[in-house]
Structure 1
């Protein structure tokens, strides 16, 4: 069984909603990314999205763009480095599922078959490629299924009649985009968000998760009542950004990690 499926089944049995942080790999450096993943699990994360830094993102807002720029300029991090971080975190004892978030070009340049063989060996359970449309994902989907990697689709309030078609091909869960536009902290969400979530729920038996703009415990709690999982990205990446001076000072490193962990625990409630 894929670890994502097992985790959702365990959470459902416990009457709990998944908290899924997103972090940019290599920000501020590879060693610290491993420590941050460990901290997220200890602080209550149920799954983690591992973001591959990319120079031309379509879905990322300014906070995650800055994180990608730091990772690319300071560490020249590659998609292979990001996958190795996952393996190193797993070797260190982290048990929760990892979901790789990447754009299609790095995957294509690496080679599709070699890519799926690698992430299967390195302990990746799911894959999100936001710029790969459903109409063009047949080869990727076949390779993902053969490797028991869940290819997780994004659906947005503007998807409308495509919701059922996209959801019917989903594996693991359906990622519901809460707002129009790119990622980023928000106070308000699409005014038809609850109707949209109901539409997605009716289209699939899979868990549904919501992301884009969720940044505090009140929002996690609000959407946790109607979704199976809540994804928090920019707010966590910004917390990491604020903690970088501590994280890069060996004498204050634990204080920086504690700052990140305390925020995740606060989200969890």
Structure 2
């Protein structure tokens, strides 16, 4: 029996500079706690802060790691030390309950690590990169993902992520704050009340900051990964879209309770 999972490996840019290594380490510990809270209803998951400036996450579902990584990237507060995420997804023949993340060796881990290393070497350094094919030939029982088109799918996915990253980089600080606030609050009126700005001002920042395009890309990538999982696994206990909805609700609920942390970005 196989199980659908996704993985991210988070690393931090310039983590050894500015003398804030301990502060960053404490922040990563906090993010591990937050991700654990967000995924409470989707257990089992594995998440670990290790090697000083690295977090590794493994959880059920093709889209889970990307959803978590996207939210972390939007609330990240150290703008001189941005995170970047090597991502992979696929299938394993063990239940996550039976995995020891500290000892587990699997091609999907190698893929996420390889994607992370490619980002580390990229001077433009996008936030996200998927690796789907470098080390893993896949499960022949799951033809929807592991067929002759997987290279093309990886290219399209990473191209979308690169365009998304370009739009994010072009945002001003207030546009970034509006976009992140809207991701959580989902209403421009609520964003205006939180930021103390008028609806027309919020609308202007939202449009000029290409927030709709950034968030639409996030949603479409999530939906595509969910569709792929649903086509691969015809007898899932929980529909992938429903699982993602549960995860999104959990993340937003927790972040609304801690919404003032956005002022630090």
**Fold match by TM threshold 0.5:** no
Q: Looking at CA atoms only, which structure, 1 or 2, has the larger radius of gyration?
A: 2
**TM-score, normalised relative to structure 2:** 0.32
**TM-score, normalised relative to structure 1:** 0.31
